């Protein structure tokens, strides 16, 4: 899949790209497809890199220019015990799902967090992973893993019953599942949806895109995601009723939409002129910037029906933490 500035997980890689890096460097992993693109989309600085002074983050500043507003959330970190890197991709009313690594350059495992208890989430037959990317109200989880034959599979887990989500060729990465069981994701350079656990797929592309990823879906079937244009710039998109709408945070170098709730509020992240990431909410035609106070980088992955958000942030030492916020 072409490089989209999103980011998922260089998860299954023996020597993966730095977490949430938007470097154009060629991935060193044998998995050059959708897995490595997931983390690239989120664009949090990788450990050991030099972070630009915070003053650079706001030049130019869409909020100061009146092109967007800012919203303050009360955030809580969600870090798997002992891990060097954690990300939160989604939550429902009882469970947070995320991914972590003991080696910050190689996300390789998934966790759930229920009632302050962390547990690893496993998939039978996985050599690396799984990485979990979405959970619906009923607790159905989607994600990806690599098996012992070095093949990457998408999956949906329903109460412990695992079903592979694989198109006929190439890598298939599910990113989200709604309460009706419709799954969206990326297959090679295309977005997809499937309503029958992968028995049939509907592929789609943003017109003019060199790559499309579907990353979120709500109960009405409205889909959001990211697409790359012919100049390798990343944009978010909204797909509703067969009509695409491109999403670009004002003055951003790149924009990725990740999640959408039933009020059609969208969560995602954008890169500023200094190349650092900020979270955003898009609601009723207006953009809202969201940052963890003092963090050099913030990304949002979901916004839930109760207004809660999930995502990740980098601290002053460039360690990456999962987050929830309200």
Kindly report the average pLDDT of the chain as a whole number.
84
Distance of CA 163 to the CA centre of its chain: 21
Specify the pLDDT at position 280: 98
Percent of the chain with pLDDT over 70: 80
Q: pLDDT of 58-74, one tens digit each?
A: 457 899 999 999 999 99
Percent of the chain with pLDDT over 90: 69
Parallel/antiparallel/unpaired status of strands 297-303 and 309-314: antiparallel
122-130 contact pairs (CB < 8 A, 24+): 123/155, 123/157, 123/162, 124/162, 127/12, 128/11, 128/12, 128/13, 129/11, 129/12, 130/155
**Token output for 299:** 């990304």
Specify the pLDDT at position 230: 96
CATH no., domain 34-325: 2.120.10.30
Specify the pLDDT at position 84: 87
55: pLDDT strictly greater than 80:
no
Tell me which of 100-104, 249-253, 282-286 is least confident: 100-104
Specify the pLDDT at position 102: 87
107: pLDDT strictly greater than 70:
no
Specify the pLDDT at position 43: 58
């Amino acid at each position: 899949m072409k490089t989209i500035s999103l980011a998922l997980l260089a998860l299954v890689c023996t020597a993966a790209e730095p977490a949430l890096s938007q470097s154009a460097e060629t991935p060193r992993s044998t998995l050059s497809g959708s897995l490595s693109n997931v983390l690239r989309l989120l664009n949090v600085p990788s450990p050991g890199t030099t972070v630009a002074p915070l003053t650079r983050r706001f030049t130019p500043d869409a909020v100061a220019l009146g092109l967007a507003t800012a919203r303050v959330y009360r955030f809580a970190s969600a870090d798997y015990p002992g891990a060097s890197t954690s990300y939160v991709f989604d939550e429902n009313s009882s469970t947070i799902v995320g991914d972590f690594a003991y080696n910050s350059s190689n996300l390789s495992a998934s966790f759930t967090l229920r009632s302050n208890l962390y547990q690893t989430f496993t998939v039978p037959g996985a050599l690396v992973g799984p990485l979990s990317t979405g959970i619906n109200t009923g607790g159905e989880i989607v994600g990806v893993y690599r098996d012992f034959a070095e093949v990457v599979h998408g999956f949906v887990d329903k109460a412990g019953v695992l079903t592979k989500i694989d198109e006929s060729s190439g890598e298939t990465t599910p990113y989200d599942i709604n309460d009706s069981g419709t799954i969206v994701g990326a297959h090679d350079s295309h977005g997809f949806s499937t309503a029958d656990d992968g028995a049939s797929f509907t592929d789609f592309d943003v017109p003019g895109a060199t790559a499309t990823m579907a990353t979120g879906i709500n109960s009405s079937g409205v889909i959001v995601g990211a697409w790359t244009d012919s100049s390798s710039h990343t944009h978010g998109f909204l797909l509703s009723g067969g009509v695409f709408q491109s999403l670009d945070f004002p003055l951003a170098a790149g924009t990725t939409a990740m999640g959408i709730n039933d009020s059609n509020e969208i969560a995602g992240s954008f890169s500023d002129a200094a190349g650092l990431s900020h979270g955003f909410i898009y609601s009723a035609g207006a953009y809202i910037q969201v940052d963890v106070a003092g963090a050099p980088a913030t990304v949002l992955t979901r916004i839930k029906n109760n207004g809660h958000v999930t995502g990740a942030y980098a601290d002053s030492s460039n360690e990456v933490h999962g987050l929830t916020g309200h």
